[in-house]
Amino acid sequence: MARWPELDSYIEDAVSWGVPQLAAAVVGPDGLIYRGSRQQGADGSPTRSSEAPAVYWLASMSKLVTAIAVLQLWERDLLQWDAPVATWLPELASPSVLEGFSGQEPALRPAASPITLRQLMTHQSGLAYPIWQNDIARYISQRGIPMPGSGKIESLALPLVFDPGTSWMYGIGLDWAGQIVERVSGKTLEDYFQEAIFQPLEMRDTSFLVNASMRERMVDLMSRDDTGAMAPVERSFPTPETFMGGSGLYGTEDDFSKLLTALLRGGELAGRRILRTETVALLLQPQVSGTHIGILRTAMPRVAADVDLHAGAESGWALGGLVNLQVGAAGRSAGSVGWAGAANTFFWIDQKRGVAVQVMMQMLPFANPLALKTLAGAEELICGILDNLPG
C-alpha cells in the first residue's frame, strides 16, 4: 500500500475544519493502493481512527450491489431488460401517475405504458424519492406512508411522477429491483447477496443486518442540531420488514473496496467470479444521457440538499450509477461511473485510470456544502497524485 502524505494531510485538515469523520480509499486491479482516515476527538481535533474496520451506512451505494444481483440473474436468462416488471411484480401491473393535487386530493391517472426492467434500473420508471419530489413528499405525508428506506414494504407503494420512459428521476426503482431478485431467486435479498456476492468476495462485514460486532464499529451519523452544532443522530437497527436494495446496506470501506476491485478486474477476485467481463462492461455503460441526469432539487432540506454532482455538465446513467460524460471539474476521467449514499459516502470507478475510489463521511444532510467541498478537494488531490505516479 502506498503512502500519500498529501492526502493524509488533507484528511486531517478536513476533520480540523469540521468534518466529523473522513476516510478515503483507492484501489486498482491488484487491490488496495491507498487508505487513510481521521475522526474528530473529544476536543474536536483530528485523531487516528480505530484499527478495526469502521462500519458505515452505505445507503444508496447499496444500489450498485443490487444492480450486480440483477445482472447475475440476467446472465442466467432469468430476467429480460425490456420485459414489463409486472412479469415479476404484479403490484406494478397498473401504475398511476400523480399529476399534482386538486385541493387536498391527489390527481391520479393511469400510466400510458408499463414499466420495463430497464426503466426501473435506470430511473426512467417514473418512481421518485420524496426527498427530491414535492408531490410525492406530500402524498406520503397525507397518507401516513412510511418513508422509503424504512424497511417497510408499504413505503414502496407510490405513484409515478411521469409516464415510464419519458423522463428521468432518481427514485425507488432499485428497491423494487431488490424485490425482483427475491422473487426470482426464491431467497431473501440478504441471503442472496451473502451467497452470490459477499461470500465469494470475502466481504464479511457487509449486511442489511447489523450484528453486535458491526454495531461496536459503527461510525456515528452526525447532523446539525438546532444550535448549529454537530450531534449524533439517534439510531436503532431493528430487523427490517423487507430488505431495501436501494438503501439498506451497512458495510466497511475494506469490503466495498473488494467489490470495486472485482469490477476493475472484469468481475473476478481471487479466482471467484461474480459477473462475466462483458456484463461488467454493460454495468458501466450509459443507458440514458442528458444535462438533467443526476440533478435533484430537495423537498426535504434537513435530509438532503440540492444535488448536481457534475455541475450542470451532460451526464449519463448506467446500471451501476451516474456517468460523467466529460472530464470532471475535479479531474475525474470522462466515462467514470459512480454514485453516493445519503450520509455522504461516495465512490467512483475511473476506467481510464484503472482505479476506483471511495470518499466516506457519515453526516447529514446529503450533499451539504461542507461534504461537497470535502469531496471535491479529495477528488482533485487523488486525481493529481494518480497522474503524477511514476511509470
| β partners of residue 321 | 318
Instruction: Name the active-site residue from 10, 37, 56, 60.
Output: 60
Query: 454493460: which residue's cell?
Result: 282
DSSP string, 312-341: T--EEEETTEEEESS--TT-PPTTEEEEEE
Instruction: Name the active-site residue from 63, 125, 185, 192.
Output: 63
Contact between residue 294 and residue 302 where contact means Cβ atoms under 8 Å apart: no
152 as an active site residue: the answer is no
Closest CA to 256 of 338, 151, 182: 338
d(CA 162, CA 164): 6
Contact between residue 244 and residue 175 where contact means Cβ atoms under 8 Å apart: yes
Query: 472484469: which residue's cell?
Result: 266
Contact between residue 172 and residue 166 where contact means Cβ atoms under 8 Å apart: no
How many angstroms separate the Cα of 338 from the Cα of each of 59, 64, 71, 80, 320? 14, 9, 17, 24, 7
141 as an active site residue: the answer is no
Q: Which amino acid makes up residue 256?
A: F
d(CA 282, CA 290): 19
Burial class (CB in 10 A: 0-12, 13-18, 19+), 48: exposed
Instruction: Name the active-site residue from 10, 129, 139, 170.
Output: 170
170 as an active site residue: the answer is yes
Query: 426470482: which residue's cell?
Result: 184
SS3 of residue 111 by DSSP? coil
d(CA 26, CA 346): 12
Please identify every residue annotated as catalytic: 60, 63, 170
